[in-house]
Amino acid sequence: MKIVKIEWLDAQLQLLDDMYYESDFDNTNTEIYCSIVGFLIKETNNAYIIAKEVWDDGSFKYIHVIPKAVVTKIVELKEGKVISSNGGG
């Protein structure tokens, strides 16, 4: 199973219970870039499906479905040298 880092341009939501005017957005950062590292569970024609955790029984947890249309970069990460390890708990 591939481990990938995906970067994408995300949407934003204004949560204030207020009325807005067009000028309220003059100084608003309209670009929100996000990234995630996880297991590439599936790639469809329109999306990447990423899991943060993979369990021994084959199940997944913390799923993200990221539309390909908003992805700005995807990199496959390779397993390499362990930098440090405490041997587990």
User: Taking 70 as the threshold, does the pLDDT of residue 87 lie above it?
Assistant: no
52 and 13 in contact (C-beta within 8 Å)? Answer: no
30-77 pLDDT, tens per residue?
778 899 999 999 999 999 999 999 999 999 999 999 999 999 999 999
pLDDT of res. 42: 96
pLDDT of res. 21: 76
User: Taking 80 as the threshold, does the pLDDT of residue 26 lie above it?
Assistant: no
Beta-ladder partners of 76: 4
| CATH number, domain 1-12+34-78 | 2.30.30
Mean pLDDT, to the nearest integer, of 15-42? 80
C-alpha closest to that of 2 among 59, 57, 78: 78
62 and 82 in contact (C-beta within 8 Å)? Answer: no
Mean pLDDT, to the nearest integer, of 8-17? 74
